[in-house]
Amino acid sequence: MPRKLIVTIADGDEYRFLFETFALPTWRAYADRIGADIRVATSAELGRTTDSRIGIPWYKLLALSDDASLAYDLVCWIDADVLINHHSAPDIFDYAVPGRVGVVNLTHHFRGSEYDFERRTRYLQLNKYFSSAPPELRQQVRDGQLAYDLTRESFDAAIGPGNREIYNTGVILCEPGPNRALFREVFHLAETVPATRSYEQPALNEALLSAGVDAILPPRFNLILAWELSARCPFVFAPGFADFPKREALLGYFASSIFFDSYFLHFAEGYFQAVRLVDTASRTLVQHLERLR
């Protein structure tokens, strides 16, 4: 029986509160069922100082390869903004491939039809403006006055050439020993990239492809809530929905329905607050509707 570890980093008071209150109970139920340990680290424990220019996500590479992880046969990194569907998710460690690094391939989200591209572009624009822009810009989006300025060419330039696979590294499954050198080498790249690139994903993506050690996990092990909403319920990003009186109840219903369809539901791109809306106690959408009565 392999020794199995689930590891993450939860930094910051609010982020850690959301993780411990909403996500961690689902992790514990899952870990108990599959016989895995859980380690919740901080970037400070892994050597990050308060004046470091290296973004916190890079430290997952050290968490996957330090002595604590090397004590296990298999390690699964999961971003802390993930809910685990402990009711139905199979044991992710059963999908480990010796010597390889398991990730979910998200290329189809970026390399789809023109219709899919336009919908994804619109989501990116709305997400960008609603998450960080001043009120007047958000109002322009609501009123349909703001042009969507992403083109296929600029999009490809931002995420890489079209013949490369695109992985999301919010969930990583590996043997820590054989992959230790690769993780350490990628971490040191953080010192050479622009300070604005706070995420390790592009560098790790390229390293996995170049080394030929990537292995593909089933997509349900990393369903990204915002992307699933843009695909299944695109109207939630329509101008005006932000002001809809029952917006929160509808989002809870949609997010819960996606959770029931996932193994791991990832609240990436600033959506972690929405974790409060998901019904993790129910096993099915029918049970969820009954609880709402």
- Torsion, Cα of 4, 10, 16, 20 (10° steps): 0
pLDDT at residue 268, rounded to an integer: 86
Which pairs from 191-199 meet CB under 8 Å and 24+ separation?
191/54, 195/53, 197/55, 198/55, 198/56, 198/57, 198/58, 199/55, 199/57, 199/58
pLDDT at residue 208, rounded to an integer: 93
Alpha carbons 182 and 204: distance in angstroms, whole number: 9
pTM of the model: 0.85
Kindly state the DSSP code that residue 12 receives in the 8-state scheme: S
Q: Which residues neighbour 11 within 8 Å (Cβ) at sequence distance 6 or greater?
A: 42, 43, 44, 56
pLDDT at residue 147, rounded to an integer: 45
pLDDT at residue 146, rounded to an integer: 44
Q: In this predicted model, what pLDDT tens digit does every residue of 241-261 receive, in sequence order?
A: 767 788 888 888 899 999 999
CA-wise closest residue to 79 among 277, 271, 293, 281: 271
Contact 159, 17 (CB under 8 A): no
155 by Cβ neighbours in 10 Å (0-12 / 13-18 / 19+) ranks as: middle
- Every domain range in the chain assigned CATH 3.90.550.10: 4-111+162-292
CATH number of 4-111+162-292, picked from 3.40.50.11600, 3.90.550.10, 3.40.50.11890, 3.60.110.10: 3.90.550.10
Q: In this predicted model, what pLDDT tens digit does every residue of 127-145 receive, in sequence order?
A: 544 444 455 545 554 555 4
pLDDT in tens, the chain (293 residues): 899 999 999 998 999 999 999 999 999 999 999 999 999 999 999 888 876 888 899 999 999 999 999 999 999 999 999 999 999 999 999 999 999 999 999 877 666 555 555 555 555 555 544 444 455 545 554 555 444 444 555 555 555 555 578 899 999 999 999 999 999 999 998 888 765 567 888 889 889 999 999 999 999 999 998 888 877 887 776 767 767 788 888 888 899 999 999 999 999 877 788 899 999 988 877 787 777 66
Contact 185, 59 (CB under 8 A): no
CA 284 from centre of chain: 23
